[in-house]
Each structure stands twice: as C-alpha cells, then as structure tokens.
Amino acid sequence: MEDIIDKPALSVNGFIVLGSMIVLSLVIIGAGREVAIPFVIVSILIVASGFTVINPNEARVLTFFGRYMGTVTKNGLIWTVPVTQKQKVSLRFINFTSPKLKVNDSNGNPIEIGSVIVWRVENAAKAIFTVDAYQEFISNQSEIVIRSIAAQYPYDAEGKISLRGHTGEITEKLVGELQEKLQIAGILIKDAKISHLAYSPEIAVAMLRRQQAEAVLFARRRLVEGALGIVDDVLEHYNKQDIILSDEHRIELINNLLVTLTSDREANPIVNVGT
C-alpha cells in the first residue's frame, strides 16, 4: 500500500491570474489575429479549470489523472494546477456522537454506553487516499474502541478504576486508543468523553437496589465507627475523673451508648431510680 505524504500544491492568488488572462485576451483580440482566437479560447478554458474557491479551514486535495499533486490550504480565490480533480476536505473540528451501545463491563453486567468525540482532519491526503471513506472509518473504529474500553473496566467499583467513578482516566484511555486507531487516516482526536452510561433496563432495578444496600451498609459502618470513638471518649473521661466502673456497669454503659448512637429511631431513656 502506497504511503501518502501530505505536501503543498502549486497555489497562486486567483485574482492575479484572472487579471492576467483578461489583459492577455484583450491584447490578442486587439491585435486582430483572428487565427489565434480559437487557441486563446482553448487556453482560457484550460487555465480557468485551475480556479477554485477555498473557505477558511478547508483544503483541496489535487489529483491529476490518478496522480496525487498536493494539497492546497490557502483560502480565497486560488489558482492551482489546471485540469485536476479537486476534492474538498474540511479541516474544522467536528463532534461525533456515538450511538448508545449495549456492552458487558468487566464484571459481565450489561450496560449502555455512548460518547462524544471531537476530531478533525489533520492530514487531508491521508484522509482521502488511505481509507475509503474516512467519516465512516471514524464511526466504525470509535465503536470498536468504546466497546473495548467498556469491557476492560467495571461500571462501578471501590478501590479500582471504574467507568462511573474515574472519568479522567477513562477519557485519557479513550483519547489514546482512538488516536492510535485513527492516525492512519490522518485524523486528530481533540477530546473524547462518555456522554451516556447506565445499566441496561433489564438489570437497572436490581443494580439500583444493590447500590442502595451498599450505601446503607457504608453509612452504618461510618456510624458505628463514630459511635465507638464516642464510647472511647466517655470511658477516657471516667478514667480521668478516677471513677472506677465495674465490668458489669462498663458493659451496660457501652451497650446503652451504642444503642443510643446507632439506632435509627429516637432513643427512650430509662431512668433507674432504685427500689
């Protein structure tokens, strides 16, 4: 496969060439050389085929009977190599929104994932000649990369990288793999972020319940840890006051404090007034 290297093509300000053509035509016609008029007309048609209008952040890839002649990136009315095919290529940044893909994460859970990719053509010649249709190529390769990354990480997890909890790492991974896949087509990836991430509908309710249970368990653990800290402070206070508690009273005190501090209902204290 031929390796196409982007190179500048011949390009001249079109107004200069247009003005020269008009002056030359008037001189020949004014000289009264009627024999030269057909030649002038043919020459004008050939020269005129070199004109093209290029907008900012656009390029024209030139081919002359199948041979790559170069790329023109100057904007305005430009005159370049006549009798060439001029393929328009946009150099602007483009947002590509991938469809919602249904894949399995690293834990085997079915999830829905989609992304927004910001890209532009960096090498116009490669985009035209290396792949058949570079926009379709971007779409297909993006889907492959998204599926691959989704399968490498869990949807959500504690203590390791997950799709939901580590967006920075996932973005960096997504951009890197996309750039590696698309550089062959002369494409520059500016940014790529996950725009949609959710469990598939068939397991969404069950996973929501699991997340709620994990959240309750985490909250309970933090509550117990805090309560134990308060109990330690209370016992330390008694020690500083030289108040000696029996094992029975110590156990009762700890039990009452833990029940009061960790209960999800309002405590109803019982006052022991003796008999």
Residues 121, 136: one domain? yes
Q: Is pLDDT at 203 greater than 70 in this prediction?
A: no
Residues 101, 183: one domain? yes
> Which residue in the block uniquely carries the two structure tokens 């004109």?
51
Residues 118, 66: one domain? no
215 compared with 166, residue with greater pLDDT:
166
Residue at 269 is within a domain: no
Range of the domain at 113: 94-199
Residue at 121 is within a domain: yes
Residues 258, 166: one domain? no
Please tell me what DSSP assigns to residue 156: S
Residue 120, beta-bridge partner list: 188
> Which residue in the block uniquely carries the two structure tokens 């156990």?
251
Residues 30, 100: one domain? no
Query: In angstroms, rounded to a whole number, what is the distance separating the alpha carbons of residues 98 and 96?
Result: 6
Q: Is pLDDT at 273 greater than 50 in this prediction?
A: no
Q: Is pLDDT at 274 greater than 50 in this prediction?
A: no
Domain boundary among 199, 228, 247: 199
Mean pLDDT lowest for which of 21-25, 50-54, 171-175?
21-25
Residue at 174 is within a domain: yes
In this predicted structure, what is the pLDDT of residue 271? Answer: 46
Whole-number percent of the chain with pLDDT over 70? 83
21 compared with 245, residue with greater pLDDT:
21
Residue at 268 is within a domain: no
Residues 234, 183: one domain? no
Domain boundary among 69, 89, 109: 89
What is the CATH classification number for the domain harbouring 182? Answer: 3.30.479.30
Residues 18, 77: one domain? yes
Residue at 273 is within a domain: no
Residue at 272 is within a domain: no
Residue-wise over 165-198: b if at least 16 C-beta within 10 A, else e?
Answer: eeeeebeebbbebbbebbeebbbebeebebeebe
Q: Is pLDDT at 61 greater than 50 in this prediction?
A: yes
Domain boundary among 154, 180, 199: 199
Residues 143, 194: one domain? yes
Residue at 74 is within a domain: yes
Residues 165, 239: one domain? no
Q: Is pLDDT at 204 greater than 60 in this prediction?
A: no
Mean pLDDT along residues 47-59: 93
Mean pLDDT along residues 26-47: 73
- Mean pLDDT of all residues in the chain? 83
265 compared with 250, residue with greater pLDDT:
250
- Label residue 144 left, alpha or beta by phi (over 0 means left) and psi (-120 to 50 means alpha): alpha
What is the tens place of the pLDDT at every residue in 227-257? Answer: 778 877 877 777 777 777 777 777 777 776 6
pLDDT class of 200 with cuts at 50, 70, 90: confident
What is the tens place of the pLDDT at every residue in 149-195? Answer: 999 998 887 778 888 888 889 999 999 999 999 999 999 999 999 99
Residue at 267 is within a domain: no
Residues 150, 191: one domain? yes
Q: Dmax over Cα atoms in the chain, in whole Å?
A: 139
Q: Are 108 and 150 in contact (CB under 8 A)?
A: no
pLDDT class of 223 with cuts at 50, 70, 90: confident
Residues 151, 187: one domain? yes
pTM of the model: 0.69
Domains identified in the chain, total number: 3
Residues 32, 77: one domain? yes
What is the tens place of the pLDDT at every residue in 62-116? Answer: 999 989 999 999 999 999 999 999 999 999 999 999 989 998 888 888 889 999 9
